[in-house]
Structure formats: structure tokens, C-alpha cells
Structure 1
Amino acid sequence: MVKILLACSAGMSTSLMVKKMKKVADENGLEVEISAVPESQAEGHFENLNIL
């Protein structure tokens, strides 16, 4: 499974982008997890994965 994290400053168009990306992934049989977070919280997500 591929995990995609979108970091945004305002978040208005990001949720729309997540929906469109999930739709395309489903149409193409791709197993993905796509989420969006505020820019200020993005680093914390990577720290939890122990990749920084």
C-alpha cells in the first residue's frame, strides 16, 4: 500500500484533491491511503513513522 500525505496551509482545495486522487486510485485498482493535514502538523506525521 502506498501512503500519500498532503500538507496544506488553508485546506480548502486539499480535501477536493484528496477526493479526486482517491477516485483515480480506485478506478485504476491502486491500493492507496491518502490524507491531508495542516502544514504545521506534517512534520509530526513523519516523526511518527520514524523516517526523519
Structure 2
Amino acid sequence: MLVVGGHNWNVYKGTNGSNQVFSFLRTSDSNSGTRAEVGPRPSRARSASARSAL
């Protein structure tokens, strides 16, 4: 189970024959809206100009 946006989600991992897939199923209040972005985290490295501004 995973908690995102204050809601509980069951996470399932499997394949569709040729690709690995993940399914996220909300366990309650599934008609209420929740926005969650899933993907790689942005880089935390700062540019030289951002470091010099500190």
C-alpha cells in the first residue's frame, strides 16, 4: 500500500506481455479527485549562476 495525496493506493507490478507495468488502485473514495505526478525526480544540482547568487 502507498499513500499519495492523503489517499491509500494498492500497487501491483506485472507485465503486459512485453513491458513491465505498475497499476495503482485507490482503496477508498475513488470518486474524489487527486492529482499525482509519477516519474523521475528532477535534478537537484544547481547551475553555477544559481550557486553564485547565494
TM-score range, shorter chain: under 0.3
Q: Which has the higher helix share?
A: 1
The structure having more radius of gyration, on CA atoms, is 2
The two structures have a TM-score, normalised by structure 1, of 0.26
Greater relative contact order (Cα < 8 A, sep 6+): 1
